[in-house]
Amino acid sequence: MSSSIHTSVLPAEVMSFLAVKPGMRVVDGTLGGGGHTRLLAEAVGPTGLVIAIDRDPEAIDRGARELAGLPVRFAQANYCDIPEVLDALSIDTVDGVLLDVGLSSDQLADQSRGFSFDSEGPLDLRFDPTEGEPAWKLVNRMKPENLADIIFEYGEERYSRRIARRIAAVREKQPIRSSREFAALVRSAIPRQTPPPRIHPATRTFQALRIAVNQELKSLRIALERIPTRLAPGGRLVVISFHSLEDRLVKQAFRSPQIWECLTRSPVEASEEEVLRNPRSRSAKLRAAQLAPPASVD
């Protein structure tokens, strides 16, 4: 297995808002390329612990190899199952949790996973390739109206109906399999724009299918409900999201004053310098909150 090519976004901001100190126990719910995990592990030191979680078994295997010797424990799991992961490690509470809910560059580069528009591999899009239904099966079996609903709701794609009709027409002749084929299909269904859009025409549709097959919004919603129960007093949660649907869920969750003290009035975004260095950080939005103290009883 090759080394990670992923560059973690907003690293300094993550460390600042989590306020990590030696001896702390912290969960990185989205290990990915391991960049954030390494920073957290170096900050908590030998007396602390980082629990690194990812749904992708390849991320876990790579992290275990590249982060060997650091105070990190690994678990292949969905971050909405953080309580179960902590129970398995006999850990009651932690001092902080980080969720970076974007796609990693390692996943994009893996031709067999189908995350890239140029991939000749199957349109899979699953974070855990052993779990659930690959996207190519979904686009070949669903009714056009249901596909359109997914593409519109999760991708916020204005041409969702046209795209769904095009999918239905193409699959009548032969099943859709590869990501490259599917990206070209979506492009052909969208009217040409002048000037050309900044993002690939298939971006929103790929996003919608990825969210659907991985149940990403459901996982985030559950995680936001469950994480406060496993934070120590004053514990912090930092979430980095990459599109408005995720950011909206985080914003709404942090509006509960009985649970959270919000540390970010508006989302923190990457600096111009970071965007130049790592273009993927352009769409990142970070929100942070601290567990509210229990209400006093008179």
Note the pLDDT of residue 178. Answer: 94
Note the pLDDT of residue 2. Answer: 58
Give 237's strand partners. 97, 289
For residues 274-288, one letter each, b for 16 or more C-beta atoms within 10 angstroms of the residue's C-beta and e for the rest, the string is bbeebebbebbbbbb
Note the pLDDT of residue 92. Answer: 98
Note the pLDDT of residue 296. Answer: 61
CB 211 within 8 A of CB 66: no
User: pLDDT averaged over the chain?
Assistant: 93
Position with higher pLDDT, 5 vs 87: 87
Note the pLDDT of residue 119. Answer: 84
Note the pLDDT of residue 102. Answer: 75
Check pLDDT > 80 for residue 271: yes
Note the pLDDT of residue 146. Answer: 97
What is the rounded CA–CA span in Å between residue 139 and residue 137?
6
* pLDDT tens, residue by residue, 74-133: 999 999 999 999 999 999 999 999 999 977 766 776 777 888 888 888 999 999 988 999
What is the rounded CA–CA span in Å between residue 175 and residue 246?
31
* pLDDT tens, residue by residue, 149-159: 999 999 999 99
**How large is the average pLDDT for residues 8-25?**
96
Angle between helices 179-189 and 160-173 (to 10 degrees): 130
Note the pLDDT of residue 164. Answer: 97
200: exposed, middle or buried (Cβ count in 10 Å: 0-12, 13-18, 19+): middle
* pLDDT tens, residue by residue, 162-209: 999 999 999 999 999 999 999 999 999 999 876 777 788 999 999 999
Q: Rounded to 10 degrees, what is the CA torsion of 152, 158, 160, 165?
A: 160
* pLDDT tens, residue by residue, 210-242: 999 999 999 999 999 999 999 999 999 999 999
Check pLDDT > 80 for residue 297: no
5: confidence class by pLDDT, cuts 50, 70, 90: low
Note the pLDDT of residue 196. Answer: 74
Amino acid at 19: A
Task: List all residues 6 or more positions away from 187 whose beta carbon is below 8 Å from its beta carbon.
Answer: 200, 201, 202
Q: Which of 123, 116, 109 is nearest to 6 (CA)?
A: 109
Query: Coil, helix or strand for 239?
Result: strand
Give 178's strand partners. 122
4: confidence class by pLDDT, cuts 50, 70, 90: low
Strand 94-100 versus strand 231-241 pairing type: parallel
Structural domains of the chain sorted by starting position, each given as residue range(s) with its CATH number in brackets: 11-106+217-291 (3.40.50.150), 111-214 (1.10.150.170)
